[in-house]
Structure 1
């Protein structure tokens, strides 16, 4: 294989890697194994997990930990157990990690998540709060929303509202409104996306809290101007069990706006056709008028010549 072909192959591989990274958030383990790659944009689908051989991966992480004593390998093993939904086993492992090397952010965060998944919400709240204290910017600064979700569960609030979970309201009209700045709205949408996408990876429909968060995300995305994405998110909210009729108002308002745009476009097309017809008619009249004028001039000239002769 010549040098030019090698260069092309390397270039293609680099380009592919760059594209993969741009496609969405990607999680890699310490040993280089890719766990998931998410879809790009603000429409949550849950993580697209890419692990194919769990037993082999667990064995590899155990081997690397024994060889290096690097806690990251042990922590990654715990995450793989979570992906497999082996929550009790993962919890025991993370509690062991906390004992031998306390105050690691990933340990506190995963213990909190595991307690939530097993229904011990107060313990989950305490551990998530601890994880935020260790790393305030964790999970793209969205963990404040995680605490609100846990607060609602601890208080056992039935049919919890979006206002309570997000400390924000988009109103009750057909078109959502906000006092948030553009920057604040985008950050708000990112926080909602992260928390919802994470939950959708492990919790299938129906789930009231996820449905509410999806609805609020749809409102934010609609105001941002991504109307088609907002429709997808609203539909996911209904799939997860969002019952309030306001969601139909929001969906119908988009259809009405789109229909209105269609009418305007049709009216513009009709006006354009009529204007073109007028131009063509005017052009024809001008040509006829010109021909008649030239004919009159020629007739006059011919008549004058005949008189002179």
Structure 2
């Protein structure tokens, strides 16, 4: 991330200025439950989540709302809450049921991929993330190709080449000043995708993590 930021600065100072300012963003669920907030700067710091106590209350509320309205979105939101509460097996089972009720929902596939990865099943995580990309390649700021590369690297285990080339399809050299063949537009898109993925990963992944470390270095 640091090398990419410097490369962006060298390509266009205006791009660096755009990423320097802080911009807050919040996410709430369908019933109004506050999920998290973000403060955006040059380096991603992850989400600031609501309390586990509030999430537990929201799980109960989602069940009630689904029984009342039969809106599948409430079940989907319940699954997301279960993931945040680290109840991964429950989340997986719920999303598999949602998939039977309403097949090919992007959020189902994406959240199943996340739940499987956090539960340690990278093969199933890769299957569902690829399925999510097939349903909607534009979601998550077109960044899920990085997620796919991360999972493929994790599946290889000790034999994996944890490198910029393997994770983001390019590198910036070994010199103090980064070099790249990417143009300004490509650098901007890569920066946006990498920032998004890192902001998600640092919210959930425990340190030390060599993949996150490599991506932060990039």
TM range (shorter): 0.7 to 0.9
Partners in 1 of 2:173 and 2:62 — Cα distance?
50
> Which structure ranks higher in relative contact order (CA pairs < 8 Å, sequence separation ≥ 6)?
2
Partners in 2 of 1:116 and 1:50 — Cα distance?
22
Paired positions, count: 195
Corresponding residue for residue 130 of structure 2 = 129
Partners in 2 of 1:148 and 1:191 — Cα distance?
13
Residue deviations 1:76-115, cap 9 Å, x none? 0110111111111111111111111111000000111111
The TM-score, its normalising length taken from structure 2, stands at 0.85
How far is the alpha carbon of 1:23 from its aligned partner? 2.9
In structure 2, relative to structure 1, the CA distance for the partners of 1:23 and 1:33 (3 Å cut) is farther
Corresponding residue for residue 146 of structure 2 = 145
How far is the alpha carbon of 1:183 from its aligned partner? 1.8
Corresponding residue for residue 215 of structure 1 = 217
Partners in 1 of 2:160 and 2:103 — Cα distance?
36
Q: Please tell me whether residue 117 in structure 1 is matched to residue 118 in structure 2.
A: yes
The TM-score, its normalising length taken from structure 1, stands at 0.61
How far is the alpha carbon of 1:205 from its aligned partner? 1.3
1:56-71 matches, cutoff 5 A: 56-71=57-72
Partners in 2 of 1:102 and 1:161 — Cα distance?
36
Structure 1 runs not aligned, ≥5 long: 1-21, 217-309
Structure (1/2) with the larger strand percentage: 2
Partners in 2 of 1:167 and 1:159 — Cα distance?
12
How far is the alpha carbon of 1:41 from its aligned partner? 2.7
1:188-267 matches, cutoff 5 A: 188-216=190-218
Corresponding residue for residue 35 of structure 1 = 35
Is the radius of gyration larger for structure 1 or structure 2?
A: 1
Corresponding residue for residue 104 of structure 1 = 105
SS of 2:39 mapped into structure 1: coil
Structure (1/2) with the larger helix percentage: 1
| Residue pair 1:24, 1:40 contacting (<8 A) in 2 also | yes
Structure 2 runs not aligned, ≥5 long: 1-21
Corresponding residue for residue 165 of structure 2 = 163
| Residue pair 2:153, 2:161 contacting (<8 A) in 1 also | no
| Residue pair 1:42, 1:190 contacting (<8 A) in 2 also | no
| Residue pair 2:46, 2:199 contacting (<8 A) in 1 also | yes
Q: Please tell me whether residue 48 in structure 1 is matched to residue 48 in structure 2.
A: yes
Partners in 1 of 2:142 and 2:24 — Cα distance?
18
Root-mean-square deviation (Å) = 1.5
How far is the alpha carbon of 1:159 from its aligned partner? 5.3
SS of 1:160 mapped into structure 2: coil
Partners in 1 of 2:62 and 2:186 — Cα distance?
40
SS of 2:49 mapped into structure 1: coil
Partners in 1 of 2:70 and 2:137 — Cα distance?
28
Partners in 2 of 1:37 and 1:25 — Cα distance?
6
Partners in 2 of 1:119 and 1:98 — Cα distance?
21
Corresponding residue for residue 176 of structure 1 = 178
SS of 2:27 mapped into structure 1: strand
In structure 2, relative to structure 1, the CA distance for the partners of 1:159 and 1:206 (3 Å cut) is farther
